[in-house]
Homo-oligomer: A and B are copies of this chain.
Amino acid sequence: MKTRKLGREVAVVGVGMSQFGAFPDKSSRDLFVEAFKELRASVDKGLDPNDIEALYIGNYSSDLFEGQAHTAPIMADWVGLTPRPATRIEDACASSGVALREGLLAVASGAYDVVLVGGIEKMTNLPIAKVTDTLATAADVLFEIPAGFTFPGFYAAMATAYMHKYGASPEALMRVTLKNHDNGALNPKAQFNQTIADVMAGKRRSAEKKGKPIPTWADEMAFLQDDRANPMIAWPLRLFDCSPVTDGATAVLLVAADIAKNFTDDPITIIGSGQASDGALHDRPDLTTIGAARRASQMAYQMAGIQASDVKIAEVHDCFTIAEIIASEDLGFFEPGKGHEAAEEGLTTRFGPRPINTSGGLKAKGHPVGASGAGQVVEVFKQMRGQAGARQVDRDVDLALTHNVGGTGQTAVVHIYERK
């Protein structure tokens, strides 16, 4: 696949997200309004909503979750942007990552100068078993669903293939859990803003309160190895290897780079974008890698003119812990088969050489599926501008990456950001 230069450069000048969690009294409309308000407040020089020319809304299935299709114009209406063009993008859990790409291409085309990219998902309306069924429609209903798979099963198959091929242990997966909860504990918007130690103590946000950078992991690991505390879901994936069911909304403001200074003196430029598709899991030669993510990242690196080693931080699609380890290899951060060692060695913590998921990731921040991709941009925007609060990494983040996956990798989309 060729990667071409876009007609214009595009920058992120504002971001917003709702609280992530379970909100029985809120619809996706309410959550999107919450995200949009925060986005408005985030634009340094102010945002006149009349300047927004179009909306791209990533959403997996408000049809099935809320009985509401055709959500994009409703979101436009609820944030006062009628009659702007409003388009819903769906690529399963990569919906708003792909919506970001669509917004990017739309601005690059010259059609718009200012575009709002949103992501929404209101999942907790349904009973949990029904949520699992609803998510499973992102798999192949002719082949995979009749075989009895749901998503924990798919990723468990990937995990066992990975462990078999590379000798990885379940403890490597647990390291991802520990790290992402440590980060999520410092993210006030996270669904689980708790370390595992906090979970054990039945507390919330203790790390934040105490300013404690890294809790002792030994006791936490014992907790995660306890079948009662952390029950098995689909071997080797336990409860704490799985991202939660989440309500949430996210928003990103894209503008043509040549007018970015009207909005902020500190814009974040999107210098790379890649997207790829793949067949369903049953059709792939190797379960230890997600080919679409490899291709999407190659497209993005080529467009950006950088290498994996140049990337300072990344938000990756850790719907399950194994997914983060595989992503860290697919993106070229570590050699194939070395991602689990990197996790065990702490290379991907906030203090390591390659911080991954400083937001807490889907695992701890939460995974409102259609909103997660744009939510990743919220974190890199804040980290790159030094606005990530207690979880701010202690280095200059000139280059960052987001990696958003749909299904078991039938879609992957990667973006690269530069702070100039």
C-alpha gap A397/B283 in the complex (Å): 47
A48-91 contact mask (Cβ, 8 Å, vs B): 1 or 0: 00000111000011011011111011101100011111111111
Number of chain copies forming the complex: 2
Contact of A131 with B by CB under 8 A: no
Contact of A389 with B by CB under 8 A: no
- Asked whether, in the complex, the Cβ of A84 is within 8 Å of the Cβ of B407, the reply is no
* Chain B: minimal CB distance from A382 (Å): 27
- Asked whether, in the complex, the Cβ of A85 is within 8 Å of the Cβ of B277, the reply is yes
- Asked whether, in the complex, the Cβ of B109 is within 8 Å of the Cβ of A92, the reply is no
- Asked whether, in the complex, the Cβ of B4 is within 8 Å of the Cβ of A83, the reply is no
- Asked whether, in the complex, the Cβ of B137 is within 8 Å of the Cβ of A73, the reply is no
- Asked whether, in the complex, the Cβ of B83 is within 8 Å of the Cβ of A138, the reply is no
Contact of A108 with B by CB under 8 A: yes
Question: Chain B contacts of A243 at CB under 8 A?
Answer: none
Question: Chain B contacts of A142 at CB under 8 A?
Answer: 27, 29, 68
Question: Chain B contacts of A372 at CB under 8 A?
Answer: none
Which one of A5-13, A332-340, A348-356 is at the interface?
A: A5-13
Contact of A398 with B by CB under 8 A: no
Query: In chain B, what residue has the closest Cβ to A292?
Result: B83
A402-416 contact mask (Cβ, 8 Å, vs B): 1 or 0: 000011001101000
Which one of A98-106, A158-166, A312-320 is at the interface?
A: A98-106
Question: Chain B contacts of A278 at CB under 8 A?
Answer: 73, 77, 82-83
Question: Chain B contacts of A108 at CB under 8 A?
Answer: 7, 109-111
Query: In chain B, what residue has the closest Cβ to A56?
Result: B102
- Asked whether, in the complex, the Cβ of A276 is within 8 Å of the Cβ of B85, the reply is yes
Contact of A308 with B by CB under 8 A: no
Q: Give the size of the chain A interface in residues (CB under 8 angstroms).
A: 73
C-alpha gap A231/B27 in the complex (Å): 39
* Chain B: minimal CB distance from A151 (Å): 12
Given contacts A7-B8, A406-B70, contact A53 B106 (CB under 8 A): no
Question: Chain B contacts of A55 at CB under 8 A?
Answer: 277
Q: Which of A140-179 touch B at CB < 8 Å?
A: 140-142, 145
The CB with the most chain B CB atoms within 10 A, among A7, A72, A76, A83, is that of: A83
Query: In chain B, what residue has the closest Cβ to A140?
Result: B74
Question: Chain B contacts of A139 at CB under 8 A?
Answer: 70
A271-285 contact mask (Cβ, 8 Å, vs B): 1 or 0: 001011111100100
* Chain B: minimal CB distance from A170 (Å): 29
Contact of A2 with B by CB under 8 A: yes
Q: Which of A3-28 touch B at CB < 8 Å?
A: 4-8, 27
* Chain B: minimal CB distance from A76 (Å): 5
C-alpha gap A110/B7 in the complex (Å): 6
* Chain B: minimal CB distance from A149 (Å): 14
Query: In chain B, what residue has the closest Cβ to A294?
Result: B83
The CB with the most chain B CB atoms within 10 A, among A8, A291, A411, is that of: A411
- Asked whether, in the complex, the Cβ of B86 is within 8 Å of the Cβ of A70, the reply is no
Contact of A223 with B by CB under 8 A: no
Question: Chain B contacts of A8 at CB under 8 A?
Answer: 7
- Asked whether, in the complex, the Cβ of B4 is within 8 Å of the Cβ of A111, the reply is yes
Q: Which of A315-346 touch B at CB < 8 Å?
A: none
Question: Chain B contacts of A88 at CB under 8 A?
Answer: 89-91
* Chain B: minimal CB distance from A88 (Å): 4
Contact of A263 with B by CB under 8 A: no
8 A–B pairs (Cβ distance < 8 Å), ordered by A? A2-B53, A29-B142, A64-B69, A69-B137, A72-B90, A73-B91, A84-B276, A111-B273
Q: Which 5 A-B pairs give the minimum distances between C-beta atoms? A: A7-B7, A85-B275, A73-B277, A108-B109, A73-B410
